[in-house]
Amino acid sequence: MKTQQMNKTPPSDTLELDQQRIDAAGRSLEDGAVTPSYGPHRDAIVKLLNDALATELVCVLRYKRHHFTADGISASQIKEEFLVHANQEAAHADKLAERIVQLGGEPNFAPDSLLARSHAQYDESKDIQAMVRSNLVAERIAVEAYHQMIQLIGDKDTTTRRILESILAEEEEHADELKDWLHQ
């Protein structure tokens, strides 16, 4: 019993707050929401988020191109779906950029390195089925990347994990919709 009382940091199996970390949170005000709980993982999380940001931006560009270039009798509905997806991907990019800033990082919108940092590829297909297939591949890649990011982050940053989980849910919806379009 005396040993536990002498320790300033409670053992990890107790349900007591770490007063030293709470006190430290009251300092370094320029860090905004980033408190000692973020530990050494903040920079790695910002890098993951910047890579995801690049992926989302490439997806916006690919969907926009497909929206404007798809033609043919069956193109009108899928063109509109491409535009909806482009707008949702842009909203994902905004969420990621906002979170990067909250973590004290800088969102990387540099166009010259977008493709190198993106998990997904850009596509200039002219055939609607090739467009759908290209977007489905990109959505599946995004789903896998978000799954892995969520696992890596775990409980290291619950806010970022929740943001990624919400984006993942929409990416899964996109993949399901595109799978249905692939067979039409």
The mean predicted confidence, pLDDT, of the chain is 89
The structural domains of the chain, with segments of one domain joined by +, span: 40-182
pLDDT tens-digit profile of 102-157?
Answer: 999 999 999 999 999 999 999 999 999 999 999 999 999 999 999 999 999 999 99
Q: With H, G, I as helix, E, B as strand and everything else as coil, classify residue 22.
A: helix
pLDDT tens-digit profile of 29-46?
Answer: 666 666 666 777 899 999
Q: How confident is the model at residue 5 (pLDDT cuts 50, 70, 90)?
A: very low
Cβ neighbours for 4, distance < 8 A, ≥ 6 positions apart:
10, 11
CATH hierarchy code of domain 40-182: 1.20.1260.10
